[in-house]
Each structure stands twice: as C-alpha cells, then as structure tokens.
Chains A and B, each alone.
Chain A
C-alpha cells in the first residue's frame, strides 16, 4: 500500500495535475472559440524555455519571468490572429486543426534552437527536493502542481461565473449572433480567451520545469495527454479537465511503474480509445443536438 502511494499515487497525481492544467488550458480556449489549440503543449514548453533562455542571457530570475510572460502574451496574440480568430465558433474543425497544428510545428522547431533541443535542468521554479509528509516523500513542486490545478480551475470557474468579462465569454460560446447583437465583440473575446489560455500554459510550464527536466520536444506529448484528459472529462468542461488529468496521471504512472516506461503512451492511447467507444462525449460533456 505504501509503495503504491509512494511510487504511483504521488508522482501520478503530480503528473496528472500537469495534464489537467493542459486540459484546463484547452477548455479555456475551446469554450469561447470552439477551437482546440494543437500548439498548446508547445506553449507550455515555450514558458519553460523562455525563462531558461532569459536567465541564460543574464537577466535576474524575476525579470526572466516577466520577460517570459511577455513572450507568452505576444505569441498568444499572434496565434490568435493567425489560427484562432478566423475560425471562432465556425465549426470548421479541419481548418483550425491544421492552422494550430502548423503553429505547433513552427514553435516546436523554434524551441529546438536554443540548447540544440537537449533536455535542461530548471532550477528557477518550485523546489523538487523531497521531504517527508506523513510518511511519504513529496516535493514542494509536486504539491504545488496539484494545488495549482485546483487553484487555477477554481479561479477560472469564479471568473466565468462572477465577472462580467467571464459572462461575456460564456455568452459568445452559447450564441455568437446573440452575443454580437448585444455588443460583445467576437475578436476581443477570442483575444481574451487565447491570452487566458496562454497564462494557464505559463503556470503549467513553470510546474513542468519544476517537476522534471525541460525537454523541448515533449510539447506534442503534452498536447496529446491534455487532450485525452479533455476527452475523458468532456470538451470545454473545466471540472472534467481536472478529473481527466488526474485519472491519466495515475493510470499512466501505474503503467510506467508496473508494466514499463515504454507502455505509458500505449496505455493513454488505449484509455482514449476506450472513452471513445464507451462515452464519446466524456464524463461531463453532453451529446450535441444535431441540427438539420
């Protein structure tokens, strides 16, 4: 039992928190725009790499963070303009899929430029040194990851419920024509949603870097894992993203420890196939009403 907690549950939940955060990032953009950003995993890596590069260039750590955030916002707005806004609530999934995928290819290649794509140790985030907590060895980074997942999800839910801008984003998602007719700008909503999603990616990036080595080529994997979490939880559901992420984290960690590290992707893939066969709209998603 203790071994299960130590080798599967603790690291599984920490990883799961990161997958959950990726899924929350997807949901943030998807609810408002109907677009899933295939480059989101690269955005996560972009945050870690930007901090690394900025520190490497001699900036103090706090300034490196500011610079990295600035990079994230600028890149997010560019992505929004090229690959999101033309397709807001358009239903043309093939178009935005290809566009965001293209952005992902470009970002992945740019990320491979510094350090020739090699993995790097990141020491500017939360500490990864484990300490004893009720008999389990856990690191502050792992705890922070789980706390951040719930914190970010909770803040977003409050934002969507309590603030006017949050309501406006939900209104756009519900009915684009109705929203424009009462003065909500589609372009602005799409920008806000993309930047919010990029900020979630920034938090995720710091946590990824704090819990493991920074490997720039892993962006696409994060996209995939985050998406499987989304598929489990249901498209656009933030609560579902949290649950889905944690489930994948624990299941994949279990497979990694007890079956072999190379079966992790396979396990997650089979999980996705299973969800699609059993519950194609996820645990918390609703089947769309088909319109003729």
Chain B
C-alpha cells in the first residue's frame, strides 16, 4: 500500500503581521484527492508550505500516527510527505535522471511506483539538463521527482499552471493515476475543471479561511467559486 492518511489540525500561517491561513483543518485519506481552490492570496500555497514545513506554522500535522509539525521540512519529506512546489523548482543544472536519482528514497523504502512508469514521456529526455526543458516538461519532472521519493502523501501546488490545454489534460490523468495508486493527494488549483474531473473533495478558501467544503462533482461548484473570486 502506497498511501497514508494526512491530517492537518488547526493550521495557521503568518508572515510578519499578516495572517495567510487561519485555523484550517483537513484530512486526506489514502486513495483520495482533496483540492484547495480559491483566488490568489486566499492562502492555498501558504497552507501547503505550512504543512510541508517550508513556512513556520502553528497547528498539528500528522501522517498516519506520526506527528510531523515539530520536524524540519527535510525530515517531513523523508517521512513520506511529497511536495511538488509552485513554480516547479526542478534542479536546473542537473540532468533529468540526476533529478530523479537525488530524490530517490534511501534503501529502506523502495517506491512501489516507478516515476518513469507513471511519466513515460520523461524517458527519452533522461540525459537532458532540467533547465533546458520546457515549462510543461519541467512540471512533469517535478511530479516524477516527488514520486521518486516514495511518498505516502503527495501535495501539488498548481501543477497545471501555465500549461497548454493538452498538457492540463495529461496532468489530470497523472493525478488520477497517483490517486488510484493509493496515494493521498492534496492539490492546490486555480482551475476548477481539474477538481471536477478528479472528483476530488473541494475546500474553497477565502482570505485564509474555509469558505465552502463541497464535492468536486457538485454542480454548484463553479458558481460558488465565482462568488468567492468576486467578493
């Protein structure tokens, strides 16, 4: 079994005097997908960075029974919390293969899912430098890199950002593959169609607070979202 359960309890993230996220709780079960939607500045990215330990945050974070919130980011990642950052953050001067190798889990836990099986389109470019890849290819590499670390939960921050419609479709396929492989998938998105197609549970954020919790299949979702954008 790949997945573990991610539980976040009363998370708050503050920068200086500004509160980005306040008192946010959520749970992602293995084999399911939860999507955080909302306008820019609603606190989506801060939520993921807070959970991942890249931003200091208050509140509890658990992976199954393991408490993560007092660990530094690198330890959380090694405990099985995969994080595909906003803006890809691939290692530009390393080749594609090296990007995957440096991320590969240490001997103890082998990934049950080979990242190149999930993303075969990366195979022909294994020897190319990541910095020379197109935006879409870098995004695929960023996802593959997270999978290579044998995570149990995968957080993805706007994976479809800046992609052409065709690649958006491909990304949705990949995310569905991750979910069906048993990972718990926590997704931040601006495009509601991604959440709809993945039939994800949706949390709509507004000003760092939960505005709605609905199913991605709910027909009212686009209208709720438009309302959250426009207010």
Closest approach, in angstroms, between the C-beta of B153 and any C-beta of chain A? 13
Complex: A171 Cα to B95 Cα, angstroms: 11
Partner of A175, one of B73, B77, B90, B101: B90
Query: How many B residues touch A, CB cutoff 8 Å?
Result: 25
> Is B152 interfacial (CB 8 A cutoff)?
no
> Is A109 interfacial (CB 8 A cutoff)?
no
Closest approach, in angstroms, between the C-beta of B57 and any C-beta of chain A? 15
Query: How many A residues touch B, CB cutoff 8 Å?
Result: 19
Interface members, chain A 174-199 (any B CB < 8 Å): 174-175, 177-187
A182 near B75: Cβ-Cβ < 8 Å:
no
Question: Interface segment, A92-100, A162-170, A241-249?
Answer: A162-170
Partner of B54, one of A170, A180, A187: A180
Contacts of B89 in A (CB 8 A): 175, 177-178, 181
Q: Quick one: closest B residue to A186, CB to CB?
A: B74
> Is B93 interfacial (CB 8 A cutoff)?
yes
Closest approach, in angstroms, between the C-beta of B152 and any C-beta of chain A? 13
Interface members, chain B 126-161 (any A CB < 8 Å): 145-146, 149
> Is B98 interfacial (CB 8 A cutoff)?
yes
CB 8 Å contact bits of B43-76 with A (1 = contact, 0 = none): 0000000001110000000000000000011110
Closest approach, in angstroms, between the C-beta of A125 and any C-beta of chain B? 37
Q: Quick one: closest B residue to A175, CB to CB?
A: B89
Q: Quick one: closest B residue to A185, CB to CB?
A: B74
Closest approach, in angstroms, between the C-beta of A79 and any C-beta of chain B? 22
Which of A164, A170, A175 has the most chain B CB atoms closer than 10 A to its own CB?
Answer: A175
A182 near B54: Cβ-Cβ < 8 Å:
no
> Is B103 interfacial (CB 8 A cutoff)?
yes
CB 8 Å contact bits of A142-174 with B (1 = contact, 0 = none): 000000000000000000000010011011011
Q: Quick one: closest B residue to A174, CB to CB?
A: B91
Partner of A164, one of B73, B101, B149: B101
Complex: A178 Cα to B73 Cα, angstroms: 11
Partner of B90, one of A164, A178, A184, A185: A178
CB 8 Å contact bits of B79-94 with A (1 = contact, 0 = none): 0000111000111111
Partner of A182, one of B53, B72, B103: B103
A183 near B77: Cβ-Cβ < 8 Å:
yes
Contacts of A182 in B (CB 8 A): 77, 83, 102-103, 145-146, 149
> Is B78 interfacial (CB 8 A cutoff)?
yes
Interface members, chain B 200-222 (any A CB < 8 Å): none
Complex: A151 Cα to B52 Cα, angstroms: 41
A181 near B94: Cβ-Cβ < 8 Å:
no
Q: Quick one: closest A residue to B149, CB to CB?
A: A182
Closest approach, in angstroms, between the C-beta of B156 and any C-beta of chain A? 11
Closest approach, in angstroms, between the C-beta of A119 and any C-beta of chain B? 43
Partner of A181, one of B85, B92, B93, B98: B85
Could you pull out 24 A-B pairs where Cβ atoms are within 8 angstroms? A164-B101, A167-B101, A168-B102, A170-B91, A170-B94, A171-B94, A174-B92, A174-B94, A175-B90, A175-B92, A179-B74, A179-B91, A180-B74, A180-B77, A181-B77, A181-B83, A181-B84, A181-B85, A181-B89, A182-B145, A182-B146, A183-B74, A184-B74, A186-B74
